[in-house]
Structure 1
Amino acid sequence: MKFTDSPVIELPVHDALLSIQQDNGSMHVGTSVWPCSLVLVKFAERWDPVKCAACDNPYADLLNFANKRGIELGAGCGVASMGLYLLGLHDVVVTDIAPVMPALKRNLKRNKPALKKTLKIAQFYWGNEEQIKLLKPPFDFVFATDVVYLEETVAPLVKAMEGLMADDGVVMLSYQLRSPEAHKLFWEMCHDVFDVERIPHEHLHPEYAYEETDIYVFRKKKKGQSS
């Protein structure tokens, strides 16, 4: 399901307001806003170490974006990148495939008053090793929302995640089951490469905690560690 069929989605992030224009008539899923992107941003906002400095914050280290590099895979309308940028991830590259670029560029331009800058974008097909090199890894944060829905893209996605993240970096994935076949293959491949932690549902933002959406944190397995 889409978050809503409304042509414009508004997402408050602390004192800013993102306004995302979606195209529900497009043939590309990347031009619509899906709940997973909102869930990730609002989770990070809830546990923002700057705003939550005095509270018992289990994610203070995870969400410390200061001086960190990030990259979004399959950014679509750019919701997650814009939201995490507003939460302190100021060195971020926003990526997607060519057909989605017009919607992405339009939304980055639309939100420039809130962002105060234009975020860096790059065309990226996950299986393209040359493009991975051009993105200049490693990144401290690799993040993606609702990107596991085609079985044939699973292997390139996992390879891109592994190839882009720093050895001590993390992948943050906001996930919703879309295809049983893609789901099975994705988790089989991930557990060979990463240690995976699921964020407890009660730790999501209470107003953006959809029952079918989960957030996972991936870290590279240590060398010699069995799956």
Structure 2
Amino acid sequence: MKFTDSPVIELSVHDTRLSFQQDNGSMHVGTSVWPCSLVLVKFIERWLAVPADDTNPNPYASLLNFTGKRGVELGTGCGVAAMGLYLLGLHEIVLTDIAPVMPALKRNLKRNKPVLKKTLKTAQLYWENKEQIKLLKPPFDFVIATDVVYIEKTVGPLIQAMEGLLSDNGVVLLGYQLRSPEAHKMFWEMCVEVFDVDKIPHEHLHPDYAYEETDVYVLRRKKKMDP
């Protein structure tokens, strides 16, 4: 189920308003706005507003330190998460998706250029294409992915792409909603082989964007054990 069939979705980030044009007639899911991207952006916005000090500790202060960090978004679609994170301080970020989604993405980047003040970098990426991954010049400190687990056949390539793009000490910020029981089962079985998984408590999400069906996860590379 989509977030809404409205042709335009708006999202406030601090004092800025992003606006996204959906193509509800498209055959490609990437041309619609899905809830997890909104949930992830607003979670980050909430905790960036909490000062980190002894009297009021912020458990995400270190995680969400974007200063000097590089990010890449997989399956960026209309670009909601990446544009939101850019406004929240992740100023070096590449937005990736497959070729049929690129026109919708570029249209939305142009639509939001007045508030972004620049055109963000984009790149075509099919997750199984190792040459395209190499051209992105990994590793990245942040790999962002929202609502990308819905077909079994793409689960393996997705996890391989995450692994290939992420730095040793980097994190995957994953906005997640169960779309397919089969893909869900396969994803988490494969994921725990590669990553340590932390689920953000639901009460830590932004209260206005804590949809019952959506979750945010933080994935980190498993540390290699010494032989």
Q: TM-score range by the shorter chain?
A: over 0.9
Matched with 1:24 is 24
Give the drift of 1:220.
Answer: 0.4
Q: What is the alpha-carbon distance in structure 2 between the residues aligned to residue 176 and residue 106 of structure 1?
A: 26
| Deviations, residues 7-61 of structure 1 (Å, cap 9, x unaligned) | 101100001000011011110000000000000000000011xx32254211001
Q: What is the alpha-carbon distance in structure 2 between the residues aligned to residue 100 and residue 209 of structure 1?
A: 27
Matched with 1:188 is 189
Instruction: Report sequence identity in percent.
Output: 79
Report SS of the residue matched to 2:122. strand
Match for 1:28: what amino acid?
H
Q: What is the alpha-carbon distance in structure 1 between the residues aligned to residue 194 and residue 75 of structure 2?
A: 21
Matched with 2:50 is 52
Matched with 1:139 is 140
Report SS of the residue matched to 1:47. helix
Q: What is the alpha-carbon distance in structure 2 between the residues aligned to residue 222 and residue 56 of structure 1?
A: 27
Match for 2:50: what amino acid?
C
Match for 2:215: what amino acid?
D
Structure 1 length-normalised TM: 0.97
Q: What is the alpha-carbon distance in structure 1 between the residues aligned to residue 58 and residue 117 of structure 2?
A: 28
Q: How does 1:1-227 map to 2 (within 5 A)?
A: 1-48=1-48, 51-53=49-51, 55-224=56-225
Q: What 5-or-longer segments of structure 1 have no aligned partner?
A: none
Q: What is the alpha-carbon distance in structure 1 between the residues aligned to residue 208 and residue 46 of structure 2?
A: 11
Q: What is the alpha-carbon distance in structure 2 between the residues aligned to residue 178 and residue 9 of structure 1?
A: 21
Q: What is the alpha-carbon distance in structure 1 between the residues aligned to residue 67 and residue 124 of structure 2?
A: 25
Q: What is the alpha-carbon distance in structure 2 between the residues aligned to residue 15 and residue 57 of structure 1?
A: 22
Match for 1:85: what amino acid?
Y
| Deviations, residues 62-102 of structure 1 (Å, cap 9, x unaligned) | 11111000000000000000000000000000000000000
Q: How many residues align?
A: 223
Match for 1:121: what amino acid?
T
Give the drift of 1:181.
Answer: 0.7
Give the drift of 1:167.
Answer: 0.2
Q: CA RMSD in A?
A: 0.9
Q: What is the alpha-carbon distance in structure 2 between the residues aligned to residue 118 and residue 184 of structure 1?
A: 37
Give the drift of 1:2.
Answer: 1.2
